[in-house]
Amino acid sequence: MTEKIQQKTSKVNLRTPEVMNLVKAEVESHYRSPLVEYLRTTGRYLSGGGITVKLAKAFGFCYGVERAIDLAYATTKVFPTKRIYLLGEIIHNPEVNDQLTAMGIKRLQAVQGQYSLDGLTADDVVIIPAFGAEVETMKRIQQIGCQIVDTTCGDVMTVWKRVRQYRNEGATSIIHGKAWHEETKATASRAIGEDGNGQYLVVYNLEETDYVCNYIRYGGDKQEFLQKFKGAVSPGFDPDIHLRHVGVANQTTMMRGETEEVQRRICKAIEDRYGKENLQKHFRFFDTICGATQERQDALLDMLDREKLDLLIVVGGYNSSNTSHLAEIGESRLPTYFIKNAEKLISSRQIRHWNLHEGREVITEGWLGEGEINVGITAGASCPNNLIEETIQRLFELRGIGVESLLANSK
């Protein structure tokens, strides 16, 4: 596991005061936004040209993301002469990842689900992203002898602790998440364990959860089950055996309400099958939703309840799980546009945005219009403030207004 592997790698303190002072200055130059900080601190709105922009109370970088970025930047300061590699993406934001590439950090790409480590040597440094990495990948890097810089989020490690506990108790980990997501794959690998004897099943939504619940209650067609969850179960998974004793975990960036419903439905199915008196023998559950994810979801819901908005803009990477859930929340209430940067605001007539249902960018006509309009803005935990500022600036530019003049009038 990551923790043990790191103990075999020479320890290097990246967070010395000297290094972190350099990192802070560089990170702020790349991602800081005085405009966003002012609006966040004062709680003010920004109005002009018929547009009023309102920010959610919580949005953008969380502590785990800030820590991961700080460590990546620190790596370039501490190892200036070494080759530095990043395992995939540090976080799910293209601008941040491109910035690290511009700083000379090379990207290791996954080929058919496995990272290509060809060419790595013991003299190289490998940065593990905030989502963590699979046990086998960590072993391979350690065997090469690379210096490992692990930026895995503490909330993710908490989930790992839980699934290891389930494995030790002989329980199958039912993980509410996206089977293809790096974090879920890393968690699943810890559910299996180094001996390969653990079991897991990943459920994506309530429809899949209900299918599992029916199987727990009544049994079913084993081959149909395995085909339905192909790529989302552990090797050798047998639903007739491995659904008798289960523990629910989750990808940290899922929506709390849905994870709680997954837990409730599986708990009820186990109770129906084995009786309430035997529930503790067959079922485990721990709350492992990321606090920052929940805070951003709650802040968005609060803004939607409290403010009169005409539309919502969600800023962040399209492959960001926590950001996509913010867009889902918005879509359920009002016109919502999920964009990765300000360039997607083509004009007051056209906006290019990510369609969650089609899994692609689409162009919507007549999105902004010409009358008075209230626009809500939020952003995922992997979105830097400078991208939010650029989005705000672009909104007012579409009405011929400069943000500087609005700020001068609002102070």
Helix (H) or strand (E) holding 57: none
Amino acid, res. 186: A
Task: Classify residue 204 by its DSSP letter.
Answer: -
Nearest to 60 by CA among 397, 363, 362, 390: 390
User: What residues form DSSP beta bridges with 376?
Assistant: 54, 312
Give me the residue label for tokens 């805070």. 295
Give me the residue label for tokens 């500022």. 389
Nearest to 168 by CA among 383, 312, 343, 1: 1
Q: Where are the alpha helices (DSSP H) in 93-179?
A: 94-102, 135-144, 154-168
Nearest to 259 by CA among 186, 311, 320, 184: 184
Amino acid, res. 40: R
Q: Which residue out of 89, 134, 182, 183 is catalytically annotated?
A: 183
Q: How far apart are CA 349 and CA 341, in angstroms?
A: 17
Question: CA neighbours within 13 Å on the CB side: how many for 109?
Answer: 3
Mark whether 183 is an active-site residue. Answer: yes
Nearest to 354 by CA among 365, 342, 338, 343: 338
What is the β-pairing status of strands 106-108 and 84-87? parallel
Angle at 88 between CA 294 and CA 61, to 5 degrees: 30
Catalytic (active-site) positions: 183
